[in-house]
Chain A
Amino acid sequence: MSRRPTSSLAACVWIPLFPLRCEEARHDGLAGFPTALLAPDTTRKLWQVSSPARHTGVKPGMTVSQAIGLCPTLRLIEPDPVHYDEQFANLLSALTEVSPVVEAAELGLAYVGVDGLQGIYGSAEKIIEAIRLAVRPSGRPAVRLGWGVGKFTAWVAASRAKPSEAVVVPLGHERSFLASQPIAVLPLDADMHHRLRRLGIRTLGALAALPEAAITAQFGATGKRLWQLAAGRVIEPVQGRVAPEPISAALSFFSPVGERELLVHALDQLIARALKHPRRIGWRVYALRVRAEIEGGGSWLTAHLFKDPTADAGRIAAPLRMRLEQSPPTGAVERLVLEFTGFAPGTTELQLFARDAQAAARAGQQRALRSAAREIRMRVKRAVLYHIIEVQPWSRLPERRYALIDYEP
């Protein structure tokens, strides 16, 4: 098995509130309004809140009723995790154009290994420019970039950067850079943050100035790790992933098949089989080919590259169906082979929201739902579909517990 490629010099690419930014990108004019995204697990609470909404006092974790009370013009958006996953997967794909070592941390946050890229692009600024060019074209929101040795330094640098800007921590300046940063940049929970502040520790420098043993005694193994991060003693390299070997699925027919419908059906089966392959989990397909062995010795071959990598059976099948329509095999097919040859990384968030196969299934359901809703709307010419949301489910007045909102997929 091949070793995972690593890089100690890291660039951190960060788009804060990535899901909210994705919604703003696909709904014109949304950015200027107070907006909040409902939580994926419970539509009763807010997950992410836009800056105009924050100014009115709306905060993540609030209930819908509290938020509406504070900001009557608040626009609520239901989450679409599949869309965010797809957008993030596209971002990762774009980053792999710059460096083969890309690590997804969470939605909107990825690390790019930049060791050795100086030979291709030149200085750090030029590499940053290449990253920026790679992630910009598809209308993505402004990214913040951080550069430094190890993922933590790069992350802290990105967290200090303004939108569309980059903060570079020069080699050897990590400790002095980290020393002035607030402890909030550390991966610590609210309780530990509170305890550190009560001890008067407000910067990484103040934390690093304490003896390591004392921090370990007070906060255990977690404290030790935090101390090491604050002191710049650990360098966590960016860990890339090795793209899987091609995945193939084949079907031999008992008697050669010439009917196009049967071939389409066989292709659907092969796609489903290949998508279920364990090596494919966590990866999306961007290149494939299909070959057919034709009765009497001939062969037929077609290949396709996807602009947007996908793990959706329907999207994979569509161009192949078209190819079968336009230039079918010249004779009856004895054996059909499908190969996934190129892969783009999925996201770690898929584990949280929607593993690939589920994501594909949900995307399919959503498309069907959308088209059914569109048809109903066309027939009755007004909104007749509603969705129930919880407003004050604890209310002693039954009519206050739920509300209806127009269903507009």
Chain B
Amino acid sequence: MVAPARAPLRTDRLRAVNEPSQVTVEIDGAGVPVAVRRLDGSAIGKVESINETWRIDDEWWRQTISRLYYEVMLEGGKRVVLFQDLIAGNWCMQQP
């Protein structure tokens, strides 16, 4: 790896990367995602397969995180991570 020299990096200039963006998810009778849309209603894609599912319940000592994750393959082959915030109830999408 080439280690570039640079000015000091202040932590107040750290920016989040891969922040989840809110989406609308259609689910089937079992509560499994079948299609993903943006909040404005435009389609992102239908879910072709679900690769993995997991749940995170964490950080109860500050702001509780409770999420149900799906790593899915959309039509066309794009791999994304969807999760449902089990406290607020909304769905979000981000990169794996």
Contacts and interface: CB of A to CB of B under 8 A. Distances in A.
Contacts of B20: 398-399
A401 B15 contact: no
Contacts, number: 90
Contacts of A68: 11
B6 interface: yes
B14 A362 contact: no
A342 interface: no
Nearest to B54: A396
B75 interface: no
Interface string A207-233: 000000000000000000000000000
A78 B2 contact: no
A32 to B, nearest CB: 12
Contact of B8 (A30, A81, A396, A402): A30
A49 to B, nearest CB: 14
A35 B4 CA distance: 18
A407 interface: yes
Contacts of B13: 405-406
A397 B64 CA distance: 13
Contacts of A401: 18
A42 to B, nearest CB: 9
Interface residues of A, number: 41
A88 B59 CA distance: 47
A40 B9 CA distance: 15
A399 B19 contact: yes
Contacts of B7: 27, 408
A389 B4 CA distance: 13
Nearest to B7: A408
Interface string A33-51: 0010000110000000000
Contacts of B14: 389, 391, 403-405
Contacts of A362: 2
Contacts of B94: 398-399
Contacts of B56: 396-397
Most buried by B among A40, A396, A398, A408: A398
Contacts of A74: 11
A72 B11 contact: yes
Contacts of A41: 1
A27 B5 CA distance: 12
Interface residues of B, number: 27
Interface string B54-81: 1010100000010000000000000001
A301 B3 CA distance: 39
Contact of A78 (B3, B15, B19): B3
A54 to B, nearest CB: 17
Interface in B1-53: 1-11, 13-20
Contacts of A260: none
A388 B18 CA distance: 11
B2 A365 contact: yes
A76 B96 CA distance: 27
A79 interface: yes
B95 interface: yes
Contact of A80 (B5, B11, B96): B5
A402 B6 contact: no
A56 interface: no
B18 A78 contact: no
A404 B17 contact: yes
B29 to A, nearest CB: 28
Nearest to B96: A398
A249 B55 CA distance: 67
20 contacts: A27-B8, A35-B8, A41-B1, A76-B8, A76-B10, A76-B11, A77-B9, A78-B9, A386-B15, A388-B17, A391-B14, A396-B56, A397-B65, A398-B81, A399-B19, A401-B18, A405-B9, A405-B15, A406-B13, A408-B6
Interface of A: 23, 27, 30, 35, 40-41, 68, 72-83, 362, 365-366, 369, 386-389, 391, 396-399, 401-409
Interface of B: 1-11, 13-20, 54, 56, 58, 65, 81, 94-96
